Structure 1
Amino acid sequence: MSPVSPRGVRRAHRDFLSRSLIVTASAASMLAVAGCAPSKPAGPAMGPFPVTVTEAKQQNVNLTGEWVGVMDGYTNAQIQPQVTGYLISQDYKEGSVVSKGQILFHIDPRPFQAAVDQAAAQVDQAKGQLAEAEAQLGLAHINVNRDTPLAEARAIAQSQLDTEKQTLAQDEASVIAAKASIEAANAALETAKINLGFTQVRSLISGIAGAATTQVGNLVSTQSTLTSVSTVEPIKVFFSISDAEYLALVAKAKQKGSDLLNSNLPLTLSLASGQKYDHPGKIVFVDRQMNQQTGAIRIAAAFPNPGNVLRPGQFGRISADTQVEHDVLLVPQIAVQEMQGIEQVYTVSPQGTVHVVNVTLGSQYDNSWIVTGGLEPGTKVIIDNLQKLKEGMPVSPHEGTPPAVTSMTTSQATGR
């Protein structure tokens, strides 16, 4: 092994000192930086979370049924001609309001006018025949009156008087037949005039006339439908209710000492836009039997329709108070949360902490749910910041009013 030279020893010593100085400087720099960084103060302790609460109260409520309804004219008339002929004009504006007796169409009247003229001529002819028969009858009376005393005096043969009496009877029969012919001719004339009048196709009711289904120039008959007219003031709304709902309405009507048709039970109509119709309606028709397949019965309500705003074929929702429930427990809709098919409400325990309660819900009423189980009256129910709460969390409650739920209709009741 070769000896290490002094120069090598010195070089190794210098390298060791350099490395030591670098490590010492680095450590000093780190300590300096650490000494300059300010320390963070500890945060304040979190207090109870503020929440808004309302009390679960008991009260009497009017439960309301709601059903889908279809509007129809109070009276609907199909306009059909009563004679056959060519359509020569349309005399109304489609979709306009027409009056009873207003002319809607004209059928070519010329053949019917000719029939009227012919019938009038037959009346004149029958009158002429009557005049001739009456003249013959008068002559027969003269002959009989003249020859009767002569036959008694045997101045003429009795057979001649008998012949004259037979002629008198025949002339009396001819007069009666002529009068009957006049009556028949007058009846034929009246029929011809009626048929001539039928060439003016009139509306039998007042209402809104629909589109024409036959064009001018077409041959129409008594089987043709020219248009339809519907009376829409008032307007009918047809809807179906269940057997149980029907019985509830009947019971409500009996409380007023009346039946369902005469009870004037107020009905509310909600339009497709969600707007409540201004005018209440009443029941005007109840079907004779329950539909065995659906378990529902068909009912019609009548609603005033000023300005003909509502039209047949529109949809709406009919609602009516069906029954009164006493001392039911209500909680705001906004307070109810659903977790895996279970309805829950967040309440404030006596210790001031959150307590989650599973509840059983009944029907909706206004902006609330009817609670049928799981909650006691007077319980403080939390109505805001529900997503931030959890079981046992301390809270600071204050009383408040739940916001209105605009998507629900007033006094709506639906099953769950």
Structure 2
Amino acid sequence: MTLRSSLSLLLLAGALPLTQACGASSDAAPAPPPAVPVVSVVEVRPETVSVASEWVATLDGLVNAQIRPQVSGYLTRRLYRDGARVRRGEVLFEIDPRPFEAALAQAQAHLAQAEAELGRAARDVERDTPLARERAIPQSQLDNDIQGHLAAQAAVKSAQAAVDTAALNVEFTRVRSLVDGVAAIATAQIGDLVSPSTLLTTVSQVDPIRAFFSLSEQEYLRVAEDLNRADARLWSSSGGLRLTLADGSEYPARGQFLAADRQIDPRTGTMRISATFPNPRHVLRPGQYGRVQAETTTVDNALLVPQRAISETQGRSELRVVGADGTVHLASVVLGSRVGARRIVTSGLEAGARVIVDAPQLAPGTAVDVRPYTADTDAASARQGD
């Protein structure tokens, strides 16, 4: 056998297994197609909704009474606990009363002396009046008696005023709360020499508590007519103002509009608004921050989508919708106000569109199966958004 014949036989033997393998592969079942993703969709329908505006608010006492002494002296006692609730008229501090008690005793002695002088002057007038009538004494002497009696009356009034002042000073050594409220941590200590310029503590009336927030000039113009009404009808008829606290929780009680400032602040272009919230348990304290919400307008035929369905790409807001062909289409939209966990779409979306909620990253053209988006999921989204 020649060398060429041997090589041909070897090549033929090697090719036979490959041919058999290819035949076996062609007989195997084809690979299954990829699974079609299932997405939750919401069908957009026109609605009439109340739109709420939201502002950052600062809480403060309805009254913040600075407690200062009305007399100077050494502080001898503090009769309240820092941060405690106190009542109007309750004694918070005591100043050493001894100098003022001594001054009161001295004023009372001067009053007694003036009253004695008044009695003497009255007797002089009583004695000399008939004598002057009978010309037994000069008329000038009676005139002097009368003038002395008038001067003695004035001296008694002056001495009585001094007694009243001294008694007030003794009373002022007991420093009292001016309002019902919560007392701050004391800024003065026992033994301090205090005066009317010394701040001892502050008592804040916190039930109800005030919330301050600012409207832009445009917002103010939209609600100006309502704010000028004494009852602030727009905000009170919608259930009042809502307050969201720093931890995201909603305060259970509703607030009421109290007052609008007299002018737009020229530095910020905003109008300062105050409202009150019931605070019987004193949970809210001055200095806290929160967010105040109020329903300020009604929108008819609004198209709303869940907030979680919206994706942001390079400053554009986009939605993924399921077309009639069952594939994903991209819709660039313009968003309006937030309503709970949803947003109003003002442009770029038609009524009846099926908006994908839970898969905002699907590529356009992807075929999908759909299922309805449930309200329970929407409520959970609202809690996450807050």
Structure 1: how far apart are the matches of 2:298 and 2:185? 47
CA positional deviation for 1:191:
0.7
Counterpart for residue 378 of structure 1: 352
Secondary structure at 1:41's aligned position in 2?
coil
Distance in 1 (CA, whole Å) between partners of 2:234 and 2:144 is 71
Identify the residue that residue 4 of structure 1 maps to in structure 2: none
| Aligned counterparts of 1:191 and 1:270: Cα–Cα separation in 2 | 51
Which residue matches 1:397?
A: 370
Alignment of 1:14-413 (within 5 A): 27=14, 34=21, 40-45=28-33, 49-145=37-133, 148=134, 161=135, 163-252=137-226, 258-259=229-230, 261=232, 265=236, 266-391=240-365, 393-401=366-374, 403-404=377-378, 405=381, 406-409=383-386
Residue 235 (structure 1) shift = 0.4
Unaligned stretches of 5+ residues in structure 2: none
1:45 CA displacement: 4.2
CA apart distance, 1:24: 8.1
Report the Cα distance in structure 2 between the residues aligned to 1:344 and 1:28, rounded to whole angstroms.
58
- Single out whichever of 108-117 and 134-143 deviates more from structure 2: 134-143
Structure 1 residues 303 and 356 mapped into 2: Cα distance closer, same or farther (>3 Å)? same
Give the drift of 1:25: 11
Give, in whole Å, the separation in 2 of the partners of 1:31 and 1:242.
81
**Bigger mean CA offset, 263-272 vs 36-45:** 36-45
Query: 2:155, 2:183 → 1: CA distance?
Result: 44
CA distance in 2, matches of 1:45, 1:125: 118
Q: Is the 8 A contact 2:327 2:364 kept in 1?
A: no
1:260, CA displacement in angstroms? 6.3
- Structure 1 pair 283–35 and aligned structure 2 pair: CA distance change class (3 A): closer
CA offset at residue 389 of structure 1?
3.8
Unaligned runs of at least 5 residues, structure 1: 1-12, 149-160, 410-416
Shift of 1:102: 1.0
Cα drift, residue 32 of structure 1: 11
- The residue type equivalent to 1:407 in the other structure is Q
Which range moved further: 341-350 or 125-134? 341-350
Max Rg structure: 1
CA drift at 1:144: 3.3
The one-letter amino acid paired with 1:114 is: A
Moved more, 311-320 or 368-377: 368-377
Aligned CA distance change for structure 1 residues 193 and 30 (closer, same or farther; 3 Å)? same
SS at match of 1:82: coil
Please name the residue that 1:156 is paired with: none
CA distance in 2: counterparts of 1:395 and 1:33, whole angstroms: 41
Deviation readout 1:328-379 (Å, 9 max, x if unpaired):
2222222222233322222222233322222222222222221111211112
Letter in 2 for 1:169: D
Give the 3-state SS of the residue equivalent to 1:193 in structure 2. Answer: helix
Partner of 1:5: none
Corresponding residue SS for 1:307: coil
Letter in 1 for 2:223: L
Number of residue pairs matched by the alignment: 377
Q: 1:263 to 1:321 in 2, by over 3 A?
A: closer
Determine helix, strand or coil for the equivalent of 2:138. helix
- Following superposition, the deviation at residue 327 of structure 1 comes to 1.0
| 3-state SS, counterpart of residue 267 of structure 2 | coil
Bigger Cα displacement from structure 2, 308-317 vs 334-343: 334-343
- Among the aligned pairs, what percent are the same residue? 39
CA RMSD of aligned residues (A): 2.9
What is the CA–CA distance in structure 2 between the aligned matches of 1:259 and 1:204, rounded to whole Å?
28
Aligned mates of 2:88, 2:296 — CA distance in 1: 39
Q: Is the 8 A contact 1:363 1:370 kept in 2?
A: yes
